[in-house]
């Protein structure tokens, strides 16, 4: 069964069988407990994505999820989605870096794995919906499902959901969307006596150690280690890099450049010539960007002339922008105020007020 074969559920009645994607962390555990409290028959699903130990699928995280399920009196299942994760997330992550882009693996994971392969398995278990611990608000309307930013703005994860289809969203639930982490979630954990540690959760890439994304890239593409020149826009060589996958637009630290002059920032990555281009901060500003493969929550782009705002990376506060869609479908975002570090490969996610409209991948600038 594929995602295309899944039919949208009817109204989900109390007592219905539902799944919760459980990582073993606080948020997904609370999502499961809330649904149990609301009278649903809950199955906890933990995705097995990565062979090596990592935060997303370590033995400890599986055991933690299982312990919570035992405490709640619900079934727990470990689902093998390693092939889907490898193809759609990990391999793409490495390839994007060697192409001079800065990937957004969590966006791809939500679209292809969590609400792709894992949702398909949930439906095969007879579950009508799948809930997760995402901080995002979901509203059903006659014209479909709408997604809004969470009440807890510091935790809002709607950014990662912008590529989900209406079919996927019909099966989704986000119980934490109205809750605040410190004021609501943590007290609930204590009141419910959930057997989990309420420590702060890392926001780094789950399948790579903090600051070690290059190790994953080099595992898939060993030749990524090839060194090359760091040059100014005028072509003056000012240093050497240890692989373009170690650099991203807007980066200043870790380039190994001699001090003494004005700070230099990565302004562009020339993958074809294996060079990293640097310049002053002003050269790392952009007044527009083109986006590739745009997706829209409603299925259609917003009407021209409507006010929008865009997040150019996760937790980059939405900034005003004008959306321009040309006759051939080419899509451009223009900023009234130039924006720093608009990195190709990142997701440009578009909002109107608090409502998530959609987004696309930031394209490399034309030269």
pLDDT, residue 261, reads 78
Q: What integer pLDDT is reported at residue 137 of this predicted model?
A: 99
134 and 250 part of one domain: no
Asked if 283 and 265 touch (Cβ cutoff 8 Å), the reply is yes
Longest CA pairwise span in the chain (Å): 68
The answer to whether the CB of 8 falls within 8 A of the CB of 170 is yes
Tokens representing residue 22 in the block: 């459980």
Helix axis angle, 91-98 to 213-220, nearest 10°: 90
**DSSP three-state, residue 45:** strand
What does the alpha-carbon distance between residue 276 and residue 254 come to, in Å, rounded to a whole number? Answer: 13
Q: Which residues are CB-contacts of 16 (< 8 A; sequence separation ≥ 6)?
A: 40, 41, 128, 129
- CATH code for the domain in which residue 73 is found: 3.40.50.620
Domain containing residue 267: 226-279
Extract the tokens encoding 203: 């926001």
Q: What gap in Å lies between CA 326 and CA 332, rounded to an integer?
A: 8
pLDDT of residue 1: 45
Q: Which residues are the active-site residues?
A: 109, 206
Kindly state whether residues 70 and 188 are assigned to the same domain.
yes
pLDDT in tens, the chain (367 residues): 455 555 555 567 778 999 999 999 999 999 999 999 999 999 999 999 987 655 666 788 899 999 999 999 999 999 999 999 999 999 999 999 999 999 999 999 999 999 999 999 999 999 999 999 999 999 999 999 999 999 999 999 999 999 999 999 999 999 999 999 999 999 999 999 999 987 656 566 788 878 889 999 999 999 999 999 999 999 999 999 999 999 999 999 989 887 667 899 999 999 999 999 999 999 999 999 999 999 999 999 988 778 899 999 998 889 999 999 988 889 999 999 999 999 999 999 999 999 999 999 999 987 5
User: 85 and 169 share a domain?
Assistant: yes
In terms of domains, do 18 and 39 share one? yes
The reply to whether 4 falls in a domain is no
Please report whether residue 186 resides in a domain.
yes
218 belongs to a structural domain:
no
Same domain? 342 vs 356: yes
pLDDT at 26: 96
For residues 154-179, one letter each, b for 16 or more C-beta atoms within 10 angstroms of the residue's C-beta and e for the rest, the string is: ebbbbbbbbbbeebbbbbbbbbbbeb
Question: How far is residue 83's CA from residue 121's CA, in Å, rounded to a whole number?
Answer: 14
The Cα–Cα gap between 222 and 118 comes to 30
Structural domain contains residue 126: yes
248 and 274 inside one domain: yes
70 lies in the same domain as 155? yes
Distance CA 58, CA 50 (A): 8
Rounded Cα distance between 133 and 176, Å, is 6
Same domain, 38 and 117: yes
Domain boundary among 279, 295, 319: 279
H or E element: which one contains 132? none
Residues 66 and 176 occupy one common structural domain: yes
- DSSP-derived pairing of the beta strands 347-352 and 355-362: antiparallel
Which of 259, 264, 228 has the alpha carbon at shortest distance from 249? 264
Nearest residue to 99 via CA among 182, 263, 221, 194: 221
User: Within a domain: residue 208?
Assistant: no
Beta strands 265-270; 275-279: pairing state: antiparallel
Query: Domain check: are 34 and 157 in the same one?
Result: yes
CATH code: domain of residue 330: 2.40.30.10
Q: Same domain, yes or no, for 260 and 297?
A: no
Find the CATH number of the domain harbouring 260. 2.30.30.280
| 114 assigned to some structural domain | yes
Count of domains observed in the chain: 3
Can you tell me which residue has the tokens 């959760």?
201
Give dist(CA 266, CA 248) in Å, integer: 7
What span, in angstroms and rounded, lies between the C-alpha atoms of 230 and 24? 42
pLDDT at 242: 96
Q: In sequence order, which residues have a C-beta less than 8 Å from that of residue 349 and are 6 or more positions away?
A: 158, 159, 162, 310, 311, 356, 358, 359
In a domain, 127, yes or no: yes
């Amino acid at each position: 069964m594929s995602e295309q074969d899944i039919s949208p559920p009817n109204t989900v009645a109390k007592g219905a069988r539902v799944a919760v994607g459980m990582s073993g962390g606080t948020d997904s555990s609370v999502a499961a407990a809330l649904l149990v409290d609301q009278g649903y028959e809950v199955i906890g699903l933990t995705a097995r994505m990565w062979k090596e130990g990592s935060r997303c699928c370590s033995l400890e995280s599986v055991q933690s999820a299982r312990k919570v399920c035992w405490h709640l009196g619900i079934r727990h299942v470990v689902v093998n989605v390693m092939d889907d994760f490898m193809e759609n997330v990990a391999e793409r992550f490495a390839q994007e870096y060697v192409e001079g882009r800065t990937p957004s693996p969590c966006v791809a994971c939500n679209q292809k794995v969590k609400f792709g392969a894992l949702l398909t398995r949930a439906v095969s278990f007879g579950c009508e919906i799948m809930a997760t611990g995402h901080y995002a608000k979901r509203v059903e309307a006659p014209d479909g499902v709408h997604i809004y930013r969470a009440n807890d703005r510091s935790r809002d994860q709607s950014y990662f959901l912008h590529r989900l289809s209406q079919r996927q969203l019909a099966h989704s639930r986000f119980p934490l969307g109205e809750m605040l982490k410190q004021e609501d979630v943590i007290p609930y954990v204590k009141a419910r006596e959930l057997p989990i540690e309420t420590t702060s959760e890392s926001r780094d890439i789950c399948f790579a150690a903090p600051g070690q994304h290059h190790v994953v890239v080099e595992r898939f593409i060993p030749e990524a280690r090839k060194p090359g020149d760091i040059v100014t826009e005028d072509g003056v060589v000012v240093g050497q890099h240890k692989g373009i996958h170690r650099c991203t637009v807007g980066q200043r630290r870790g380039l190994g450049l001699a001090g003494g002059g004005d700070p230099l920032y990565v302004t562009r990555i020339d993958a074809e010539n294996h060079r990293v281009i640097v310049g002053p901060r002003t050269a790392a500003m952009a007044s527009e960007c083109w986006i590739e493969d745009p997706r829209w929550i409603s299925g259609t782009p917003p009407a021209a002339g409507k006010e929008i705002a865009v997040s150019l990376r996760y937790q980059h506060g939405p900034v005003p922008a004008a959306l321009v869609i040309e006759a051939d479908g080419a899509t451009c975002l223009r900023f009234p105020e130039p924006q720093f570090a608009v990195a190709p490969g990142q997701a440009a996610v578009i909002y109107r007020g608090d409502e998530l409209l959609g987004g696309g991948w930031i394209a490399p600038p034309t030269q």
